[in-house]
Amino acid sequence: MAWLWRAGAKFSLVASAVGGGVTTALIATSDDPETALKLCATVPHRLFRDAVTAANIAFDYEYSLWGLPEGSIERERIKHEVHLRSAQKLQDLCFKNGGVYIKLGQHLGQLEYVQTMRESMLNKCPVSSYEQVCNVFKKELGDTPDKIFSEFDPVPIASASLAQVHVARMHDGQKVAVKVQHTHMTDTAAADHATVELVVNTLHRFFPSFDYRWLIDEISESLPKELDFLTEAKNSERCLGNFHKLSPHIANYVYAPKVYWNLSTSKLLTMEFMDGAYVNDVKTIQKLGINLHELSTLVSQTFAEMMFKHGFVHCDPHAANLLVRPLPSSKASIWGRRKPQLILLDHGLYKELDFQTRTNYASLWKGLVFADANAIKEYSAKLGAGEDLYALFAGVLTMRPWNRVVDPSMDHLVIQGNESERLELQMYASQYFHQISELLRRLPRVILLMLKTNDCLRAVNNSLLQGSSLETFFIIGKVSSEAVIEAKMLKSKSLLTWLNVKLDKILLEVRLWGMQVALWLLQLRKALSWSNQPF
């Protein structure tokens, strides 16, 4: 064990040396010495804190698993306990350091095997003072918020890792939401990123199985875009435009807040204020007269259309970024039911899928829904998983073991969401930890973001239905199959292709009809079992 302590001490010395060198260079070359001095007082402290946490986690893993046989039940049990302790330590580190660290924690928290971090990282974020908010307004719009708006609430209604949101009212009486970037993000983002990268690379050097370099690459690519609120505004308008152009059948059921461009900059975003319930607020949604299964289906269809047809995907659909309200143009049914409208918030993190990637991803999901083992293997390899990890890739996407993935029954991918399934998933995550790390290292960043999106949507559906539903996979199978057929038509206009596509459409309709019948029977069985229950 002594080598572990030597590694930790060595890392701490490196951290101190790097921190000291950065401090001297930054103050000497900065145009803003006051900000530079503040930054240089903060960064070495964070770097030292990183080193201590990393050494602590590394020692915990090595000491706790020492002498336990590989693959034994006891080793897996202890490893799971260490995972939970490590997640808690990482969560504490992210909260103490703030900035990019919060974003890093949120990315980790979306992975299915880091449940401990999920709710805390999404719901507990730093808040900028009103004075800091005023400073952002002065720099961006030349005046304080109370002068620009007729009303401005100094207390934010929400705060995230990069920004916080205030309610305001324009001089014409329009109620708006104003997103204000945290000032420290601009000051420390680059330095924080460098220190996180140093920590991850150093840990990988001493512990090759700990390989989260892919996560650093992902944040490197996405963070500059997320810090530019004008890019977010453009994404919002492009997203809605895609639905009206490419998915007009559900365009009215998907909405994004209107942007007020004259009051928006790269660090300030003024939008239409939206009233609605968070998508995981089941009680409020039911009070609005919205059916939970219908809402779950709308969420699945919205993102299936983005992934398989638009190729422009909102990659941060956690519950805080999805609101629901009754469709404004709809009237309540005689039972008081209303059609749902999904409101998409926070359009900072989008990813474009090129034609080939989009088609391969749609083909893979088509194979998953219809239990086609050959298609799963072929398209997993094309997407970067390789021919040796295709079964694991299918498992990560569906959260189902391989024998269930290729089970021909209609509900083979449905997750019940009970305790036994949760424990089974945790066991698989611990057992295949090294293979999962290798898979994540191999996959291109665009697919990693699709995995993150997939995990977010699974969490949303789980909160609505306490599991997944056959309707969800019916929608995914339908939209992905339609996308594959459309791609075939675009590739070739020959008569043979046209006949082949016509045959594919007929077979698809038969398959979907079979799934629909199975769905009706399942719903009938549930209704009968419910009616037979004693009161």
Nearest CA among 135, 138, 90, 97 for reference residue 116: 90
CA angle (388, 393, 395) in 5-degree steps: 120
Dist CA 292 CA 383 (whole Å) = 33
Phi-psi region of 289 (alpha: psi -120 to 50; beta: other; left: phi over 0): left
Dist CA 461 CA 484 (whole Å) = 25
Nearest CA among 153, 143, 140, 210 for reference residue 181: 140
Nearest CA among 265, 271, 295, 270 for reference residue 281: 295
Q: What is the CA radius of gyration of the chain?
A: 25
Q: Is 60 a catalytic residue?
A: no
The helix/strand/coil state of 169 is strand
Residue type, 535: F
Residue type, 335: W
- Residues 29, 30, 33, 39: what is their CA dihedral angle, to the nearest 10 degrees? -110
Half-sphere exposure for 90 (CA within 13 Å, toward CB):
26
Long-range contacts for 498-504 (Cβ within 8 Å, ≥24 apart)?
A: none
Nearest CA among 132, 127, 171 for reference residue 148: 171
Q: How many residues does the chain have?
A: 535
Sign for the pseudo-dihedral over CA of 291, 293, 295, 297? negative
Residue 418 φ/ψ, nearest 5 degrees: -90, 175
Beta bridge partners, 158, equal 165
Q: Give the count of beta carbons closer than 10 Å to the beta carbon of residue 65.
A: 14
Please tell me which residue in 316, 372, 407, 504 is annotated as part of the active site.
316
Encoding tokens for residue 179?
């997103």
Encoding tokens for residue 449?
């973001």
The helix/strand/coil state of 173 is coil
Do residues 171 and 159 lie in contact, with contact meaning Cβ atoms separated by under 8 Å? no
Catalytic residues: 316
